Amino acid sequence: MASSSATASTATASTATRRSTARKVRAAAPDPRDLRQQALADVRRRSVLDAARAVFFELGMEKTSMREIAQRAGYTVGALYSYFANKEEVYGALLAESLERLNARVQQALDGHTDAAQRVQRGATAFFEFYRENPRDLDLGFYLFQGMTPRGLTPELNEKLNARLRDALQPTQQALQALGLPGKRALEEVTALFAHTVGLLVLSHTGRIRMFKQASQDLFDAYLRQLLVRASGGAKG
C-alpha cells in the first residue's frame, strides 16, 4: 500500500515538473505578434535612415529638419519622434551603422588569418576598400559634407563613434606590434596609414588625383608595401 502511494506521489511530482517545464518553454518562446511588430519597426527605422541620408547630403546638417526627413520617409513628424529625439540622433545612428559595417568588413577580411604581415595587409586593405567603394560613407564618417567638423554631435556620442572608427584600425596596429614594432611606433605608423588612406580616398572621390595622373589603389598598395618593409626593419632592429 505504501509502495502504491509512493508511486502515485512520484507520478504526480513528475507531471507537475513537466507542466512547469512546459510553462517555462511557452514563456521563453517569443510571441509571434512581438516578432512581427519588431520586424515592422525595423523596416520603418530603415526607411527613416535611408530618407535621412539622402536629405543630409542634399541639404546639409543645418538645413535638414525632422519634418523634411519625415516627409521623405513617408511618415508624420510625430511618428519620426518615436524613433529619434532629434536630427542629430538620426545622424549619429547613420554614422554608427556605417562604422559597424566598416568593422564587419575588416573582421571578415581577417577571419582565418593569423600571420601578422597578412593581417596588416588584409586589415588595412579592407579599410581602404570599404571607403573607396562607399564614398557616401566616407563623407558621412569624416563630416565632409558639413565642413569637416562633427557639428550636431554631443561630445559623448562623438567619442563613442570615434572609438568604433579606431576599432577598425586596431587589428592593423596590433599586427604591426606582432611584427616587432614597439607600441608607440605601431600607433604612429597606423596613424600615418590612416591619414594616407583618407587623403588618397578624398583625392580619388573628388577626382583631384587625376591631376597627378595616378591611381589611388596603386598608391595605396605601394604605401602598404613600404609599411611592411618598415615594420620588418623595426622588428630586426
| Numbered ranges of CATH 1.10.357.10 in the chain | 86-236
d(CA 200, CA 195): 9
Of residues 192 and 138, the one with the higher pLDDT is 192
d(CA 142, CA 154): 16
Taken in order 96, 100, 106, 107, is the CA torsion positive or negative?
Answer: positive
d(CA 23, CA 17): 10
Q: What is the mean pLDDT of the chain?
A: 84
In Å, how far are 14, 123, 197 from 204, measured between CA atoms? 71, 20, 10
Question: The C-alpha cell of 195 is what?
Answer: 591619414
The pLDDT-based confidence of 161 (bands split at 50, 70, 90) is confident
Q: Point out the least confidently predicted range of 10-19, 105-114, 202-211.
A: 10-19
| Numbered ranges of CATH 1.10.10.60 in the chain | 29-84
Question: The C-alpha cell of 40 is what?
Answer: 515592422
Q: For 16-61, how does the pLDDT look when each residue is reduced to its tens digit (9 = 90+)?
A: 566 655 555 455 666 777 677 667 777 888 899 999 999 988 888 7
DSSP per residue, 46-111: HHHHHHHHHHHHHHHHHH--HHHHHHHHT--HHHHHTT-SSHHHHHHHHHHHHHHHHHHHHHHHHT
Q: What is the pTM of this model?
A: 0.78
Assigned superfamily of 29-84: Homeodomain-like (1.10.10.60)
pLDDT at residue 237, as a whole number: 46
Q: At what angle do helices 216-236 and 183-206 cross, to 10 degrees?
A: 170
Torsion from C-alpha of 110, 133, 136, 51, nearest 10 degrees: -90
pLDDT at residue 158, as a whole number: 81
d(CA 124, CA 139): 19
pLDDT at residue 163, as a whole number: 92
CATH number assigned to the domain covering 86-236: 1.10.357.10
Burial, 102: exposed, middle or buried (Cβ in 10 Å; 0-12, 13-18, 19+)? buried
